[in-house]
Structure 1
Amino acid sequence: MTNSSQARKAGAHAVMIVLSALAIFPVYWMVQTSFRPSNEVFSTLLFPTAPTLDNYRAVMDAMPILRILGNTFVMAAATTLAQVLTGLLAAWALVRWRFPGGRIAHSLIALSWLVPFQVVMIPNYVLATRLGLLDTLAGLVIPNAAAAFAVLVLYNAMRGFPREVVEAARMDGAGSFRTLVEVVVPNLRAPLASISILCFISAWNEYFWPLLLIRKMDNAVVQIGLQFFMTQEGNDWGLLMAAATLASLPILALYLVLQRQVVESFMKSGIR
Protein backbone atom coordinates (compact mmCIF):
# COMPACT_ATOMS: atom_id res chain seq x y z
CA MET A 1 0.00 0.00 0.00
CA THR A 2 1.46 3.35 -1.07
CA ASN A 3 1.80 6.39 1.16
CA SER A 4 -0.85 8.27 -0.82
CA SER A 5 -3.42 5.46 -0.42
CA GLN A 6 -2.63 5.22 3.29
CA ALA A 7 -3.10 8.97 3.62
CA ARG A 8 -6.48 8.81 1.84
CA LYS A 9 -7.57 5.92 4.05
CA ALA A 10 -6.49 7.78 7.20
CA GLY A 11 -8.30 10.90 5.99
CA ALA A 12 -11.48 8.94 5.33
CA HIS A 13 -11.33 7.40 8.81
CA ALA A 14 -10.74 10.83 10.36
CA VAL A 15 -13.80 12.25 8.57
CA MET A 16 -15.93 9.30 9.72
CA ILE A 17 -14.74 9.72 13.30
CA VAL A 18 -15.67 13.41 13.25
CA LEU A 19 -19.09 12.70 11.73
CA SER A 20 -19.72 9.92 14.26
CA ALA A 21 -18.81 12.25 17.13
CA LEU A 22 -21.17 14.92 15.77
CA ALA A 23 -23.98 12.35 15.56
CA ILE A 24 -23.38 10.86 19.00
CA PHE A 25 -22.75 14.08 20.96
CA PRO A 26 -26.41 15.26 21.08
CA VAL A 27 -27.44 11.86 22.44
CA TYR A 28 -24.66 11.99 25.03
CA TRP A 29 -25.71 15.53 26.02
CA MET A 30 -29.32 14.41 26.44
CA VAL A 31 -28.33 11.50 28.70
CA GLN A 32 -25.89 13.43 30.88
CA THR A 33 -28.34 16.35 31.22
CA SER A 34 -30.96 13.92 32.53
CA PHE A 35 -28.65 13.22 35.51
CA ARG A 36 -28.02 16.89 36.33
CA PRO A 37 -29.75 18.63 39.24
CA SER A 38 -31.93 21.58 38.28
CA ASN A 39 -29.26 24.16 39.19
CA GLU A 40 -26.77 22.56 36.75
CA VAL A 41 -28.97 22.03 33.71
CA PHE A 42 -27.43 24.94 31.80
CA SER A 43 -23.86 24.16 32.80
CA THR A 44 -21.40 23.71 29.91
CA LEU A 45 -19.40 21.03 31.74
CA LEU A 46 -19.23 17.71 29.91
CA PHE A 47 -20.04 15.74 33.07
CA PRO A 48 -22.53 16.48 35.88
CA THR A 49 -20.72 17.35 39.09
CA ALA A 50 -23.41 15.76 41.28
CA PRO A 51 -25.28 13.07 39.29
CA THR A 52 -28.78 12.39 40.56
CA LEU A 53 -31.81 10.29 39.65
CA ASP A 54 -34.24 12.99 40.81
CA ASN A 55 -35.29 13.81 37.24
CA TYR A 56 -36.25 10.20 36.58
CA ARG A 57 -38.18 9.99 39.82
CA ALA A 58 -40.01 13.21 38.93
CA VAL A 59 -40.90 11.84 35.49
CA MET A 60 -42.29 8.66 37.05
CA ASP A 61 -44.39 10.74 39.46
CA ALA A 62 -45.55 13.23 36.81
CA MET A 63 -46.91 10.73 34.27
CA PRO A 64 -47.45 7.00 33.75
CA ILE A 65 -44.31 6.77 31.61
CA LEU A 66 -44.20 2.96 31.57
CA ARG A 67 -47.81 2.78 30.36
CA ILE A 68 -47.03 5.41 27.73
CA LEU A 69 -44.03 3.43 26.50
CA GLY A 70 -46.24 0.32 26.36
CA ASN A 71 -48.88 2.22 24.36
CA THR A 72 -46.22 3.41 21.95
CA PHE A 73 -44.79 -0.08 21.47
CA VAL A 74 -48.23 -1.59 20.81
CA MET A 75 -49.11 1.20 18.38
CA ALA A 76 -45.78 1.01 16.54
CA ALA A 77 -45.86 -2.81 16.33
CA ALA A 78 -49.47 -2.91 15.11
CA THR A 79 -48.81 -0.16 12.55
CA THR A 80 -45.70 -1.96 11.29
CA LEU A 81 -47.54 -5.28 10.96
CA ALA A 82 -50.43 -3.63 9.10
CA GLN A 83 -48.17 -1.71 6.73
CA VAL A 84 -46.04 -4.76 5.92
CA LEU A 85 -49.10 -6.97 5.28
CA THR A 86 -50.93 -4.43 3.12
CA GLY A 87 -47.71 -3.57 1.28
CA LEU A 88 -47.00 -7.24 0.65
CA LEU A 89 -50.47 -8.00 -0.70
CA ALA A 90 -50.66 -4.84 -2.83
CA ALA A 91 -47.19 -5.38 -4.30
CA TRP A 92 -47.99 -9.03 -5.10
CA ALA A 93 -51.21 -8.00 -6.86
CA LEU A 94 -49.41 -5.38 -8.95
CA VAL A 95 -46.61 -7.77 -9.92
CA ARG A 96 -48.48 -11.07 -10.34
CA TRP A 97 -51.82 -10.04 -11.82
CA ARG A 98 -52.33 -8.23 -15.10
CA PHE A 99 -55.52 -6.16 -14.99
CA PRO A 100 -56.81 -2.99 -16.69
CA GLY A 101 -55.54 0.09 -14.89
CA GLY A 102 -52.69 -1.73 -13.16
CA ARG A 103 -50.12 0.85 -14.16
CA ILE A 104 -52.49 3.65 -13.19
CA ALA A 105 -52.94 2.05 -9.76
CA HIS A 106 -49.17 1.83 -9.34
CA SER A 107 -48.78 5.48 -10.36
CA LEU A 108 -51.49 6.60 -7.95
CA ILE A 109 -49.84 4.72 -5.10
CA ALA A 110 -46.51 6.37 -5.94
CA LEU A 111 -48.17 9.81 -6.12
CA SER A 112 -49.89 9.27 -2.77
CA TRP A 113 -46.43 9.03 -1.21
CA LEU A 114 -45.93 12.69 -2.15
CA VAL A 115 -49.12 13.88 -0.43
CA PRO A 116 -48.24 15.55 2.90
CA PHE A 117 -50.01 14.36 6.03
CA GLN A 118 -51.52 17.83 6.60
CA VAL A 119 -53.69 17.39 3.49
CA VAL A 120 -55.52 14.33 4.84
CA MET A 121 -55.25 15.18 8.54
CA ILE A 122 -58.67 16.83 8.95
CA PRO A 123 -60.64 14.27 6.86
CA ASN A 124 -59.00 11.44 8.82
CA TYR A 125 -59.86 13.17 12.10
CA VAL A 126 -63.52 13.62 11.10
CA LEU A 127 -63.75 9.98 10.01
CA ALA A 128 -62.06 8.73 13.19
CA THR A 129 -64.49 10.78 15.29
CA ARG A 130 -67.54 9.38 13.49
CA LEU A 131 -66.23 5.82 13.89
CA GLY A 132 -65.67 6.28 17.62
CA LEU A 133 -61.89 5.99 17.34
CA LEU A 134 -61.11 9.26 19.09
CA ASP A 135 -58.65 8.83 21.97
CA THR A 136 -57.94 5.16 21.16
CA LEU A 137 -54.87 3.25 20.01
CA ALA A 138 -56.93 1.76 17.18
CA GLY A 139 -57.49 5.29 15.90
CA LEU A 140 -53.73 5.76 15.71
CA VAL A 141 -53.17 2.53 13.77
CA ILE A 142 -56.04 2.24 11.27
CA PRO A 143 -55.40 5.47 9.26
CA ASN A 144 -51.74 4.42 8.91
CA ALA A 145 -52.42 0.77 8.11
CA ALA A 146 -51.19 1.19 4.52
CA ALA A 147 -47.99 2.92 3.43
CA ALA A 148 -47.07 3.71 -0.18
CA PHE A 149 -43.38 3.39 0.71
CA ALA A 150 -43.83 -0.24 1.78
CA VAL A 151 -45.80 -1.05 -1.38
CA LEU A 152 -43.19 0.47 -3.70
CA VAL A 153 -40.18 -1.17 -2.02
CA LEU A 154 -41.80 -4.61 -1.97
CA TYR A 155 -43.04 -4.13 -5.55
CA ASN A 156 -39.49 -3.52 -6.75
CA ALA A 157 -38.23 -6.50 -4.75
CA MET A 158 -40.88 -8.80 -6.21
CA ARG A 159 -40.21 -7.69 -9.77
CA GLY A 160 -36.72 -9.16 -9.44
CA PHE A 161 -38.05 -12.49 -8.18
CA PRO A 162 -37.52 -15.31 -10.76
CA ARG A 163 -40.71 -15.93 -12.71
CA GLU A 164 -39.65 -19.54 -13.29
CA VAL A 165 -39.99 -20.29 -9.57
CA VAL A 166 -43.48 -18.78 -9.46
CA GLU A 167 -44.55 -20.71 -12.56
CA ALA A 168 -43.17 -23.93 -11.10
CA ALA A 169 -45.23 -23.40 -7.95
CA ARG A 170 -48.33 -22.75 -10.07
CA MET A 171 -47.76 -25.93 -12.07
CA ASP A 172 -47.51 -27.86 -8.80
CA GLY A 173 -51.02 -26.71 -7.98
CA ALA A 174 -50.21 -23.86 -5.59
CA GLY A 175 -52.65 -20.96 -5.70
CA SER A 176 -51.64 -17.33 -5.79
CA PHE A 177 -51.85 -16.80 -2.02
CA ARG A 178 -50.03 -20.04 -1.24
CA THR A 179 -47.28 -19.13 -3.71
CA LEU A 180 -46.88 -15.77 -2.01
CA VAL A 181 -46.71 -17.22 1.51
CA GLU A 182 -44.65 -20.35 0.89
CA VAL A 183 -42.41 -19.34 -2.02
CA VAL A 184 -42.03 -15.57 -2.32
CA VAL A 185 -42.07 -14.36 1.28
CA PRO A 186 -39.27 -16.67 2.56
CA ASN A 187 -37.01 -15.25 -0.16
CA LEU A 188 -37.81 -11.62 0.67
CA ARG A 189 -36.50 -11.60 4.23
CA ALA A 190 -34.05 -8.74 3.61
CA PRO A 191 -36.53 -6.20 2.18
CA LEU A 192 -39.21 -7.29 4.67
CA ALA A 193 -36.80 -6.78 7.57
CA SER A 194 -35.76 -3.37 6.22
CA ILE A 195 -39.34 -2.23 5.75
CA SER A 196 -40.34 -3.48 9.20
CA ILE A 197 -37.51 -1.59 10.88
CA LEU A 198 -38.20 1.65 9.02
CA CYS A 199 -41.96 1.43 9.60
CA PHE A 200 -41.50 0.72 13.32
CA ILE A 201 -39.16 3.68 13.82
CA SER A 202 -41.46 5.97 11.82
CA ALA A 203 -44.49 4.91 13.87
CA TRP A 204 -42.55 5.25 17.14
CA ASN A 205 -41.62 8.85 16.25
CA GLU A 206 -45.13 9.81 15.07
CA TYR A 207 -46.25 13.11 16.61
CA PHE A 208 -48.86 15.03 14.61
CA TRP A 209 -51.58 12.38 14.42
CA PRO A 210 -51.41 11.33 18.11
CA LEU A 211 -51.41 15.01 19.09
CA LEU A 212 -54.64 15.50 17.15
CA LEU A 213 -56.38 12.31 18.27
CA ILE A 214 -55.34 11.58 21.87
CA ARG A 215 -56.89 13.39 24.84
CA LYS A 216 -56.08 11.30 27.94
CA MET A 217 -52.57 10.79 29.26
CA ASP A 218 -53.29 7.08 29.88
CA ASN A 219 -53.81 6.62 26.12
CA ALA A 220 -50.91 8.84 25.05
CA VAL A 221 -47.80 7.80 23.18
CA VAL A 222 -44.27 8.84 24.03
CA GLN A 223 -44.08 11.88 21.75
CA ILE A 224 -47.15 13.36 23.42
CA GLY A 225 -45.73 12.53 26.83
CA LEU A 226 -42.59 14.53 26.06
CA GLN A 227 -44.72 17.57 25.27
CA PHE A 228 -45.98 17.49 28.87
CA PHE A 229 -42.70 19.07 29.99
CA MET A 230 -42.83 21.86 27.38
CA THR A 231 -45.04 24.74 28.53
CA GLN A 232 -45.51 28.42 27.77
CA GLU A 233 -43.80 29.26 31.05
CA GLY A 234 -40.67 27.41 29.94
CA ASN A 235 -39.27 23.93 29.45
CA ASP A 236 -38.26 21.73 32.36
CA TRP A 237 -35.10 20.54 30.64
CA GLY A 238 -33.98 18.08 33.28
CA LEU A 239 -37.28 16.20 33.27
CA LEU A 240 -37.59 16.53 29.50
CA MET A 241 -34.16 14.97 28.95
CA ALA A 242 -34.93 12.17 31.40
CA ALA A 243 -38.20 11.40 29.61
CA ALA A 244 -36.47 11.57 26.22
CA THR A 245 -33.79 9.15 27.42
CA LEU A 246 -36.43 6.67 28.59
CA ALA A 247 -38.21 7.06 25.24
CA SER A 248 -34.99 6.29 23.37
CA LEU A 249 -34.10 3.15 25.33
CA PRO A 250 -36.52 0.74 23.56
CA ILE A 251 -35.27 1.76 20.10
CA LEU A 252 -31.66 1.53 21.27
CA ALA A 253 -32.27 -1.90 22.80
CA LEU A 254 -33.97 -3.08 19.61
CA TYR A 255 -30.99 -1.96 17.54
CA LEU A 256 -28.45 -3.56 19.85
CA VAL A 257 -30.30 -6.88 19.77
CA LEU A 258 -30.86 -6.84 16.00
CA GLN A 259 -27.73 -4.95 14.97
CA ARG A 260 -26.39 -7.64 12.63
CA GLN A 261 -29.78 -8.29 11.07
CA VAL A 262 -30.36 -4.55 10.58
CA VAL A 263 -27.07 -4.04 8.74
CA GLU A 264 -27.46 -7.18 6.63
CA SER A 265 -31.04 -6.37 5.67
CA PHE A 266 -30.13 -2.85 4.53
CA MET A 267 -27.14 -4.12 2.55
CA LYS A 268 -29.07 -6.92 0.83
CA SER A 269 -32.18 -4.88 0.08
CA GLY A 270 -30.27 -1.87 -1.21
CA ILE A 271 -31.99 0.60 1.15
CA ARG A 272 -29.71 3.41 2.25
Structure 2
Amino acid sequence: MKRTPPALKLIQHGLLVAMSAAAIFPLYWMIISSFKNESEIFTSSLLPLHPTWSNYKYAFTEMPIIRMLLNSLGMSTLMTAFQLATSLLAAYALVRWRFRGQTFIFMLLSLTWLIPFQSIMIPNYVLVNQMGLNEQLLGIVIPFAVSAFGILSLYQSFQSFPRVLIEAASIDGQSDFGILTKLILPNIRSTIASLGIIMFINSWNEYLWPMLITKKMENAPLQIGLKLFVNSDTNMWGSLMAATTVSCLPILLLYLTLQRQIVDSFVRFGIK
Protein backbone atom coordinates (compact mmCIF):
# COMPACT_ATOMS: atom_id res chain seq x y z
CA MET A 1 0.00 0.00 0.00
CA LYS A 2 1.18 3.51 -0.82
CA ARG A 3 2.05 5.61 2.19
CA THR A 4 0.75 9.17 2.44
CA PRO A 5 3.61 11.71 2.22
CA PRO A 6 4.28 13.52 5.53
CA ALA A 7 3.71 16.91 3.90
CA LEU A 8 0.26 15.87 2.67
CA LYS A 9 -0.60 14.50 6.13
CA LEU A 10 0.44 17.81 7.67
CA ILE A 11 -1.78 19.74 5.24
CA GLN A 12 -4.74 17.43 5.89
CA HIS A 13 -4.42 17.71 9.66
CA GLY A 14 -3.95 21.47 9.39
CA LEU A 15 -7.20 21.78 7.41
CA LEU A 16 -9.03 19.64 9.96
CA VAL A 17 -7.74 21.79 12.81
CA ALA A 18 -8.74 24.98 10.97
CA MET A 19 -12.26 23.69 10.22
CA SER A 20 -12.70 22.49 13.82
CA ALA A 21 -11.61 25.90 15.13
CA ALA A 22 -14.05 27.64 12.77
CA ALA A 23 -16.88 25.41 14.03
CA ILE A 24 -16.04 25.84 17.74
CA PHE A 25 -15.26 29.58 17.71
CA PRO A 26 -18.92 30.82 17.67
CA LEU A 27 -19.63 28.70 20.77
CA TYR A 28 -16.50 30.04 22.45
CA TRP A 29 -17.50 33.61 21.58
CA MET A 30 -20.98 33.04 23.00
CA ILE A 31 -19.56 31.80 26.32
CA ILE A 32 -17.00 34.58 26.79
CA SER A 33 -19.55 37.22 25.77
CA SER A 34 -21.83 36.02 28.55
CA PHE A 35 -19.14 37.11 31.04
CA LYS A 36 -18.48 40.52 29.47
CA ASN A 37 -20.03 43.75 30.71
CA GLU A 38 -21.79 46.24 28.42
CA SER A 39 -18.61 48.23 27.74
CA GLU A 40 -16.71 45.11 26.57
CA ILE A 41 -19.42 43.29 24.67
CA PHE A 42 -18.48 44.81 21.27
CA THR A 43 -14.72 44.62 21.74
CA SER A 44 -12.62 42.04 19.89
CA SER A 45 -11.02 40.74 23.07
CA LEU A 46 -10.85 36.93 23.16
CA LEU A 47 -11.10 36.97 26.95
CA PRO A 48 -13.31 39.11 29.22
CA LEU A 49 -11.12 41.78 30.78
CA HIS A 50 -13.41 42.15 33.79
CA PRO A 51 -15.45 38.91 34.10
CA THR A 52 -18.89 39.36 35.63
CA TRP A 53 -21.84 37.18 36.57
CA SER A 54 -24.28 40.07 36.19
CA ASN A 55 -25.54 38.83 32.81
CA TYR A 56 -26.52 35.48 34.31
CA LYS A 57 -28.14 37.18 37.32
CA TYR A 58 -30.13 39.46 35.03
CA ALA A 59 -31.19 36.55 32.79
CA PHE A 60 -32.41 34.47 35.74
CA THR A 61 -34.20 37.52 37.17
CA GLU A 62 -35.99 38.59 33.99
CA MET A 63 -37.20 35.14 32.88
CA PRO A 64 -38.05 31.83 34.60
CA ILE A 65 -35.13 29.97 33.05
CA ILE A 66 -35.46 26.79 35.14
CA ARG A 67 -39.19 26.49 34.39
CA MET A 68 -38.64 27.15 30.68
CA LEU A 69 -35.74 24.68 30.63
CA LEU A 70 -38.05 22.01 32.06
CA ASN A 71 -40.68 22.96 29.45
CA SER A 72 -38.13 22.47 26.67
CA LEU A 73 -37.04 19.15 28.14
CA GLY A 74 -40.62 17.92 28.47
CA MET A 75 -41.53 19.12 24.97
CA SER A 76 -38.51 17.44 23.35
CA THR A 77 -38.97 14.20 25.29
CA LEU A 78 -42.68 13.90 24.46
CA MET A 79 -42.16 14.77 20.79
CA THR A 80 -39.40 12.19 20.48
CA ALA A 81 -41.45 9.49 22.27
CA PHE A 82 -44.55 10.10 20.13
CA GLN A 83 -42.58 10.25 16.88
CA LEU A 84 -40.67 7.05 17.63
CA ALA A 85 -43.84 5.19 18.63
CA THR A 86 -45.85 6.23 15.56
CA SER A 87 -42.88 5.71 13.24
CA LEU A 88 -42.28 2.18 14.55
CA LEU A 89 -45.91 1.15 14.17
CA ALA A 90 -46.39 2.73 10.73
CA ALA A 91 -43.12 1.39 9.30
CA TYR A 92 -43.82 -2.09 10.67
CA ALA A 93 -47.32 -2.10 9.16
CA LEU A 94 -45.98 -1.10 5.74
CA VAL A 95 -43.37 -3.87 5.80
CA ARG A 96 -45.32 -6.62 7.57
CA TRP A 97 -48.52 -6.67 5.52
CA ARG A 98 -49.30 -6.50 1.82
CA PHE A 99 -52.53 -4.63 1.07
CA ARG A 100 -54.15 -2.68 -1.74
CA GLY A 101 -53.01 0.93 -1.92
CA GLN A 102 -49.80 0.30 0.00
CA THR A 103 -47.63 1.96 -2.65
CA PHE A 104 -49.98 4.96 -2.77
CA ILE A 105 -49.81 5.38 1.02
CA PHE A 106 -46.02 5.18 0.92
CA MET A 107 -45.93 7.86 -1.80
CA LEU A 108 -48.20 10.11 0.28
CA LEU A 109 -45.91 9.73 3.28
CA SER A 110 -42.94 10.63 1.11
CA LEU A 111 -44.72 13.71 -0.20
CA THR A 112 -45.72 14.92 3.27
CA TRP A 113 -42.04 15.03 4.16
CA LEU A 114 -41.56 17.64 1.43
CA ILE A 115 -44.42 19.89 2.64
CA PRO A 116 -43.11 22.70 4.89
CA PHE A 117 -44.80 22.97 8.28
CA GLN A 118 -45.56 26.66 7.67
CA SER A 119 -48.10 25.69 4.98
CA ILE A 120 -50.24 23.74 7.48
CA MET A 121 -49.54 25.89 10.50
CA ILE A 122 -52.80 27.90 10.40
CA PRO A 123 -55.13 24.83 10.23
CA ASN A 124 -53.15 23.25 13.06
CA TYR A 125 -53.44 26.41 15.13
CA VAL A 126 -57.22 26.56 14.60
CA LEU A 127 -57.57 22.90 15.58
CA VAL A 128 -55.40 23.23 18.68
CA ASN A 129 -57.32 26.35 19.68
CA GLN A 130 -60.66 24.54 19.29
CA MET A 131 -59.37 21.68 21.44
CA GLY A 132 -58.48 24.17 24.18
CA LEU A 133 -54.80 23.19 24.21
CA ASN A 134 -53.35 26.70 24.03
CA GLU A 135 -50.75 27.36 26.73
CA GLN A 136 -50.38 23.60 27.22
CA LEU A 137 -47.54 21.23 26.45
CA LEU A 138 -49.80 18.88 24.48
CA GLY A 139 -50.77 21.75 22.19
CA ILE A 140 -47.12 22.04 21.17
CA VAL A 141 -46.48 18.31 20.92
CA ILE A 142 -49.55 16.88 19.14
CA PRO A 143 -48.94 18.45 15.66
CA PHE A 144 -45.46 16.87 15.74
CA ALA A 145 -46.58 13.44 17.00
CA VAL A 146 -45.96 11.85 13.60
CA SER A 147 -42.72 12.17 11.63
CA ALA A 148 -42.60 11.19 7.96
CA PHE A 149 -38.82 11.28 8.20
CA GLY A 150 -38.94 8.74 11.04
CA ILE A 151 -41.36 6.44 9.20
CA LEU A 152 -39.30 6.42 6.01
CA SER A 153 -36.05 5.87 7.93
CA LEU A 154 -37.41 2.92 9.91
CA TYR A 155 -39.11 1.54 6.79
CA GLN A 156 -35.70 1.08 5.21
CA SER A 157 -34.39 -0.65 8.35
CA PHE A 158 -37.40 -2.99 8.51
CA GLN A 159 -37.03 -3.78 4.82
CA SER A 160 -33.49 -5.03 5.41
CA PHE A 161 -34.61 -7.29 8.31
CA PRO A 162 -34.85 -10.97 7.19
CA ARG A 163 -38.49 -11.66 6.44
CA VAL A 164 -37.91 -15.39 7.01
CA LEU A 165 -37.40 -14.73 10.72
CA ILE A 166 -40.66 -12.76 10.90
CA GLU A 167 -42.58 -15.56 9.19
CA ALA A 168 -40.99 -18.16 11.47
CA ALA A 169 -41.97 -16.22 14.57
CA SER A 170 -45.51 -15.87 13.23
CA ILE A 171 -45.76 -19.62 12.63
CA ASP A 172 -44.58 -20.22 16.21
CA GLY A 173 -47.63 -18.30 17.40
CA GLN A 174 -46.00 -14.96 18.15
CA SER A 175 -48.33 -11.98 17.82
CA ASP A 176 -47.48 -9.07 15.54
CA PHE A 177 -46.81 -6.83 18.54
CA GLY A 178 -44.59 -9.55 20.00
CA ILE A 179 -42.66 -9.85 16.73
CA LEU A 180 -42.08 -6.11 16.75
CA THR A 181 -41.03 -5.80 20.40
CA LYS A 182 -39.24 -9.12 20.98
CA LEU A 183 -37.69 -9.89 17.60
CA ILE A 184 -37.19 -6.74 15.52
CA LEU A 185 -36.57 -3.98 18.07
CA PRO A 186 -33.66 -5.70 19.89
CA ASN A 187 -31.87 -6.06 16.55
CA ILE A 188 -32.27 -2.45 15.42
CA ARG A 189 -31.65 -0.69 18.74
CA SER A 190 -28.75 1.34 17.33
CA THR A 191 -30.92 2.60 14.47
CA ILE A 192 -33.73 3.61 16.85
CA ALA A 193 -31.26 5.31 19.21
CA SER A 194 -29.71 7.25 16.33
CA LEU A 195 -33.12 8.34 15.03
CA GLY A 196 -34.25 9.30 18.54
CA ILE A 197 -31.21 11.55 19.03
CA ILE A 198 -31.91 13.43 15.79
CA MET A 199 -35.59 13.80 16.72
CA PHE A 200 -34.70 15.10 20.19
CA ILE A 201 -32.28 17.72 18.85
CA ASN A 202 -34.80 18.88 16.22
CA SER A 203 -37.53 19.12 18.88
CA TRP A 204 -35.26 21.05 21.24
CA ASN A 205 -34.60 23.67 18.56
CA GLU A 206 -38.30 24.11 17.66
CA TYR A 207 -39.25 27.80 17.84
CA LEU A 208 -42.03 29.02 15.56
CA TRP A 209 -44.85 26.70 16.62
CA PRO A 210 -44.29 27.03 20.41
CA MET A 211 -44.23 30.81 19.94
CA LEU A 212 -47.74 30.69 18.44
CA ILE A 213 -49.19 28.36 21.07
CA THR A 214 -47.73 29.91 24.22
CA LYS A 215 -48.21 33.52 25.29
CA LYS A 216 -47.21 33.21 28.95
CA MET A 217 -43.49 33.00 29.65
CA GLU A 218 -43.83 30.23 32.24
CA ASN A 219 -45.55 27.93 29.70
CA ALA A 220 -43.06 28.48 26.88
CA PRO A 221 -39.83 26.58 26.09
CA LEU A 222 -36.51 28.26 26.65
CA GLN A 223 -36.01 29.20 22.99
CA ILE A 224 -38.99 31.58 23.22
CA GLY A 225 -37.54 33.29 26.27
CA LEU A 226 -34.36 34.19 24.40
CA LYS A 227 -36.37 36.65 22.30
CA LEU A 228 -37.00 38.63 25.49
CA PHE A 229 -33.51 40.14 25.31
CA VAL A 230 -33.83 41.33 21.70
CA ASN A 231 -36.12 44.24 20.88
CA SER A 232 -36.18 47.33 18.72
CA ASP A 233 -34.89 49.68 21.40
CA THR A 234 -32.20 47.97 23.43
CA ASN A 235 -30.53 44.63 22.78
CA MET A 236 -29.24 42.96 25.96
CA TRP A 237 -26.51 41.00 24.21
CA GLY A 238 -24.67 39.96 27.37
CA SER A 239 -27.81 38.57 29.00
CA LEU A 240 -28.84 36.98 25.70
CA MET A 241 -25.50 35.18 25.50
CA ALA A 242 -25.88 34.05 29.13
CA ALA A 243 -29.38 32.66 28.55
CA THR A 244 -28.28 31.03 25.28
CA THR A 245 -25.35 29.38 27.05
CA VAL A 246 -27.76 27.92 29.62
CA SER A 247 -30.05 26.68 26.84
CA CYS A 248 -27.13 24.88 25.17
CA LEU A 249 -26.10 23.00 28.33
CA PRO A 250 -28.63 20.11 28.03
CA ILE A 251 -27.64 19.42 24.43
CA LEU A 252 -23.95 19.65 25.41
CA LEU A 253 -24.48 17.14 28.23
CA LEU A 254 -26.39 14.90 25.83
CA TYR A 255 -23.49 15.06 23.38
CA LEU A 256 -20.86 14.32 26.03
CA THR A 257 -22.90 11.33 27.27
CA LEU A 258 -23.83 9.89 23.87
CA GLN A 259 -20.98 11.16 21.71
CA ARG A 260 -20.47 8.00 19.69
CA GLN A 261 -24.20 7.47 19.11
CA ILE A 262 -24.71 11.10 18.02
CA VAL A 263 -21.89 10.91 15.48
CA ASP A 264 -23.30 7.62 14.23
CA SER A 265 -26.79 9.13 13.94
CA PHE A 266 -25.62 11.93 11.64
CA VAL A 267 -23.54 9.50 9.59
CA ARG A 268 -26.49 7.10 9.34
CA PHE A 269 -29.29 9.53 8.52
CA GLY A 270 -27.50 12.73 7.49
CA ILE A 271 -28.33 16.25 8.71
CA LYS A 272 -31.94 17.17 7.99
For residues 112 and 263 of structure 2, the distance between their equivalents in structure 1, rounded to whole angstroms, comes to 29
- The TM-score with structure 2 as length reference comes to 0.96
Map 1:220-231 onto structure 2 (within 5 A): 220-231=220-231
For residues 95 and 177 of structure 1, the distance between their equivalents in structure 2, rounded to whole angstroms, comes to 14
Map 1:133-172 onto structure 2 (within 5 A): 133-172=133-172
| 1:194–1:271 contact (8 Å) kept in structure 2 | no
Give the corresponding residue for 2:194.
194
Q: Note the alpha carbon deviations across 1:183-238, whole angstroms, 9 max, x for none.
A: 00111112101110011000100011011111100101011010011111132100
Structure 1 residues 225 and 7, CA, compared in 2 at 3 Å: closer, same or farther?
A: same
Give the corresponding residue for 1:210.
210
RMSD (Å) for aligned C-alpha atoms: 1.5
Give the corresponding residue for 1:92.
92
- The Cα shift of 1:9 comes to 2.6
For residues 187 and 266 of structure 1, the distance between their equivalents in structure 2, rounded to whole angstroms, comes to 20
Give the corresponding residue for 1:180.
180
- The Cα shift of 1:49 comes to 0.4
Structure 1 residues 222 and 266, CA, compared in 2 at 3 Å: closer, same or farther?
A: same
| 2:69–2:247 contact (8 Å) kept in structure 1 | yes
2:120 is equivalent to residue 120 of structure 1: yes
Percent identity over paired residues: 47
- The Cα shift of 1:126 comes to 0.2
For residues 207 and 216 of structure 1, the distance between their equivalents in structure 2, rounded to whole angstroms, comes to 15
Count of aligned positions: 271
Q: Which amino acid aligns with 1:33?
A: S
Q: Find the residue that maps to 2:39 and give its secondary structure.
A: helix
- The Cα shift of 1:264 comes to 4.4
- The Cα shift of 1:260 comes to 2.6
Q: Which amino acid aligns with 1:60?
A: F
- In terms of mean alpha carbon deviation, does 53-62 or 11-20 score higher? 11-20
- The Cα shift of 1:257 comes to 0.9
For residues 3 and 165 of structure 2, the distance between their equivalents in structure 1, rounded to whole angstroms, comes to 51
Give the corresponding residue for 2:232.
232
Q: Which amino acid aligns with 1:79?
A: M
For residues 66 and 269 of structure 2, the distance between their equivalents in structure 1, rounded to whole angstroms, comes to 36
Q: Which amino acid aligns with 1:230?
A: V
| 1:35–1:52 contact (8 Å) kept in structure 2 | yes
For residues 163 and 86 of structure 1, the distance between their equivalents in structure 2, rounded to whole angstroms, comes to 21
Give the corresponding residue for 1:253.
253
Structure 1 residues 2 and 179, CA, compared in 2 at 3 Å: closer, same or farther?
A: closer
- The Cα shift of 1:179 comes to 0.1
Give the corresponding residue for 1:40.
40
Q: Which amino acid aligns with 2:219?
A: N
Structure 1 residues 5 and 101, CA, compared in 2 at 3 Å: closer, same or farther?
A: farther
- In terms of mean alpha carbon deviation, does 5-14 or 127-136 score higher? 5-14
Q: Note the alpha carbon deviations across 1:26-62, whole angstroms, 9 max, x for none.
A: 0000000000011111111100001111100111110
- The Cα shift of 1:7 comes to 2.8
Give the corresponding residue for 2:22.
22
Structure 1 residues 3 and 117, CA, compared in 2 at 3 Å: closer, same or farther?
A: same
Q: Which amino acid aligns with 1:237?
A: W
In structure 1, list runs of 5 or more residues that go unmatched. none
- The Cα shift of 1:177 comes to 1.1
